[in-house]
Structure 1
C-alpha cells in the first residue's frame, strides 16, 4: 500500500447536512436479499419478483390474500410501507431503495483479460490498450443487454403494481448513466414519476488511480446526455479523482453515508432508485447495516429502510492509507 493518506471529506456544495445525520435500520422480512439464508451467489432477482417476499401485512384489509400474483404482493407492500412512513415518529422516515449496478463495462472486460492483480497495479491506470478504451468506461453490448433485462422486468411488473421510483439518482460515470437510461427510459411510470435522472457526485465508484472511475467533464456529459439534471455545485472537472490515491473502504463508506444523509434530508419520496457501482452499493449496504450481498453487473437489490435523524455531524473516520497494491512500472509478466 502507498503511505499517503486518503481524504474522506465530501466536496463543498453537495447538500451534505452539517447539523444532523441519520441512523439507519434495515427492516428485514420483506426482501429475500435481506435474509441471512439467501445465497447471493445463486439468487436471481429477475426470476423472483425483485426478491419481494410473499407475506401478509398489518395494513391488509379483509379480502386481501397472500396470492402469488405480483399485483397483489406489490400493491399490498406499497400500501404498508406508505402507512409505516405516515405513522413514523417525528424525525423518522421509511424508504425503499432500489440499488442497481451498471451493466458490464469495457473496464470489466479489461480486468478479465489482464487479470485482477495486473489490472490493479498497471492496466487500470491507462486510458485503454489493445483496442479497448476504459477511461470513464462505456457499456459493452453485454452490459446494454443486462440493462434492457432490467427494463423488461420493470415493464412486466409496473402493470402489476410495483411502485415506480419517485426519484432516479445516478452516478456521474458514463456506464451508470447508460444503464439508467436503458433501464428506465420509455417505461410507463405514471404522472409525476417520469424518468428524470439526477446526477449525484458522491454516488460513484471507488475514487482514484483507476481511469475507469474518473468522470468526464460536465460539458461533455451535458452534450452526450442532455436530459440529465445535475445537483447544485456540480463542477466542470472531476473534483474527487486522484491519480495517486485509491480511496480506502472506510472513506468510501463515509462518502456514501454522506450521500444518504443528503438524500434523506432533502427527498420526501418513499421509493427511490440509485444506479451506481458494486463498490458504492457495497458501501451503502454496509452503511445501513445490511448483510453483504454481491451483485453481478446489471444486478438490482431493493432495501427497506428506517432512518432516524440524529443531531450533530456524522463522525468522520480516521484517514487510512491508499487502497490497492503498489504501481507496476511495466506490464506484469503474463498479463
Structure 2
C-alpha cells in the first residue's frame, strides 16, 4: 500500500456532479445537448452541476447568517425545467474551495458546458476562491468546434500535475463525466484488471471514487494510480465550474 504520508502522494476523492436538467433532457433525446435551453444547466432536485454539488457535499450545511460561518453558496429559487430551489449553504467548518478553469466538461458545441461570466459565480459562491480563473467570459468553449479526446487528456494531465504540486495530502475534486473519464482512462495501465475496470468506467451522476495518486519521480512527471475505497474527509476541495 502507498504510504500517504510520503511527499508527492495524494488521496483524492473524484466526484461527478449530480443530475442536471441537461442530463434529463439528453437521456430523452441526445439532440437536446445542443439546445441553448440548457446553457450552463443547473441541477435537478435529485442532483445538486459541479459548484452546486461541491457545496452540497462538502459545505457546512444550511446558512443561517454569519453565526454559522460565511456564505458559501447563495440560495436559488425554483424555475420549472431549469432550476431547482435550494437553501443557502454555509462555509462554516468546511474545507476551502478552489475553482480551476480547465477542470471542466468536454468543451465546445454543447451550451450546457459553457460557463457564465466569472462575476456571476463570484456572487453566487462568495466563499469560493476564483483567483486561478483569469478571464471574465468563457474563452475556452466554442459554439462550432468540439474538443478532441486528446485535448481533454492533456487538460487532465495538467490538472493532475497541479494536484500533485499542492501541499494538502487529501483533496476532493468535483467535476464532469467526460473530463473524469478521459483523464483517468490513461492511468493505471499496470494495475490489476479489477482496478482498471473501476478506474476506467464512466461516472454516474454524483458518483465518487477514491484513489491514491503517487508520483514516484517526485517531479509530477510519472504517475501511478491505485484504487483504495473509502478515506477521510478531504483537506481541500477542487472543482470545475
TM-score (norm 2): 0.69
Whether the 8 Å contact between 1:207 and 1:241 is mirrored in structure 2 is yes
Matched, 1:126 2:35: yes
2: CA distance, partners of 1:140 / 1:287:
31
Cα-Cα RMSD: 2.5
Of 56, 64, 70, which residue of structure 2 is paired with 1:182?
56
Matched, 1:142 2:53: no
Q: Closer, same or farther in 2 for the Cα pair 1:103/1:233, shift >3 Å? A: closer
2:142 match: 242
2: CA distance, partners of 1:262 / 1:250:
18
Matched, 1:264 2:164: yes
2: CA distance, partners of 1:110 / 1:287:
30
1: CA distance, partners of 2:218 / 2:14:
24
Whether the 8 Å contact between 1:136 and 1:212 is mirrored in structure 2 is yes
2:192 match: none
Deviates more, 1:228-237 or 1:238-247: 228-237
Misfit runs of 4+, over 6 Å: 310-314
Q: Closer, same or farther in 2 for the Cα pair 1:312/1:293, shift >3 Å? A: closer
Whether the 8 Å contact between 1:206 and 1:213 is mirrored in structure 2 is yes
Higher-Rg member (1/2): 1
> Larger relative contact order (C-alpha < 8 A, sep ≥ 6)?
1
Whether the 8 Å contact between 1:102 and 1:275 is mirrored in structure 2 is yes
TM-score (norm 1): 0.51
**Gaps in structure 1 of 5+ consecutive residues:** 1-26, 29-79, 87-92, 129-133, 145-174, 188-192, 315-335
Residues matched between the structures, number: 183
Of 102, 109, 113, which residue of structure 1 is paired with 2:28?
113
Q: Closer, same or farther in 2 for the Cα pair 1:241/1:185, shift >3 Å? A: same
Secondary structure class of the residue paired with 2:9: strand
1: CA distance, partners of 2:163 / 2:20:
27
2:226 match: none
2: CA distance, partners of 1:81 / 1:293:
25
Whether the 8 Å contact between 1:106 and 1:137 is mirrored in structure 2 is yes
Question: Which whole-Å deviations, capped at 9, do the CAs of 1:80-128 have from their partners, x for residues lacking one?
Answer: 522xx15xxxxxx1111100000000100110122x3xx2xxx322211
Deviation for aligned residue 1:182: 0.5
2: CA distance, partners of 1:108 / 1:312:
35
1: CA distance, partners of 2:17 / 2:131:
20
1: CA distance, partners of 2:142 / 2:94:
35
Q: Closer, same or farther in 2 for the Cα pair 1:109/1:236, shift >3 Å? A: same
Q: Closer, same or farther in 2 for the Cα pair 1:225/1:233, shift >3 Å? A: closer
1:196 match: 96
